[in-house]
Amino acid sequence: MADAKVIPFDDDRSRGGAGKVVPRRRLVNGRRKGEPVAVREVAPLPGQQDGEPPAAGRSQGRQEPQGGPDRSDRPEGADVPRDGGGLERRVASGLAFLRRRLTGDYEVDEFGYDKELTDQVLMSLVRPLAEKYFRVEVKGIENIPADGGALIVANHSGTLPLDGVMLQVAVHDNHPQNRHLRLLAADLVFMLPVVNELARKAGHTLACAEDAQRLLEAGELVGVMPEGFKGIGKPFSERYKLQRFGRGGFVSTALRAGTPIVPCSIVGAEEIYPMIGNAKTLARLLGFPYFPITPTFPWLGPLGAVPLPTKWTIQFGEPIPTDGYPPEAADDPMLMFNLTDQVREQIQHTLYKLLVQRRSVFF
């Protein structure tokens, strides 16, 4: 479509007999055949002086073809709608994607991460939830390195782990290099059907020190939420109060890899499913760490599983460097405790600051 050119309609001179005019005989005012014709003076063209030759490229006495001048010399793509080929390109891209899926012509890394599927499908599915539903606002994205490994440590909340998904979208869509966040997830995630495959394809892996260190040393951006189920399953009355950060294993991993630690504070996730109760007996029967009871679930059935449209803010703090410590520092329990406490205090302080600045839960 972009190569199409406008071909103006013209008289017979522009067709097969270009430059050859077929004479036509006709009777003018009763003039006899062969009688000489009176010659009239032809008025000069506009802007042409007497005796001046016709302008270059213009034939004397010839009019422009109806419909405007010939535009065959215009730049390619001129006067073509901006989205003229957009739909065709999207269709072609989609068909090429399906062909690669069907033929197996795509790559996954050793952890099962499928970058193409994540970019073209998974991100596209959850992006409207982040942009339109939760209206996620991102601050401090410049604190995430442009390249190389880094460990992002964030608070965990919301009853269901939607905060991890929103964090992944926020990093990818707002970082200048569109970096992908590889989250460390709990065992339960990889025990659930469908969820297991999606988590692997999206780049997530088991929350163990070995996998985390390999990713960091490979220059990946790794995300961890040390509160685990204690944070995501806490009652609504304890919202935005950080739980214990485990034994500080994430600090040890960052020290061994020599990568910076970036604290991250998420506000808005606590209110999507206000957990007012926990059916512990039912949770044990189902093998879950908790079974939430909210103002809408399970009373409204499937409709109660719809999260409330709260307004989210995700802020990344200043990175804490670890490359200045000696290799044996990863085995120093006192150093790990101090760094863990430093990260936790920075996240908690930022949470309080964001809550003071927030006008409303929903706006």
At 247 the pLDDT is 79
Q: Is the confidence at residue 54, as pLDDT, over 90?
A: no
- Residues 259-268: b if buried by 16+ CB within 10 A, e if exposed: bbbbbbbbbb
Mean pLDDT rounded to a whole number for the chain: 82
The model's confidence at residue 106, banded by pLDDT at 50, 70 and 90, is confident
Contact present, 154 and 264 (Cβ < 8 Å) = yes
| Distance (Å, whole) CA 162 – CA 225 | 12
Sign, Cα dihedral of 201, 204, 210, 213: positive
Residue in 172, 136, 130, 111 with CA at minimum distance from that of residue 267? 136
For 280-300, the pLDDT digits (tens) are 999 999 999 999 999 999 999
Mean pLDDT in residue range 222-250? 93
Q: Tens digits of per-residue pLDDT, 170-180?
A: 999 999 999 99
**What is the pLDDT at residue 248?**
80
Tell me which residue of 117, 208, 130, 207 sits closest to 168, measured CA to CA.
130
Is the distance from CB of 266 to CB of 157 less than 8 angstroms? Answer: yes
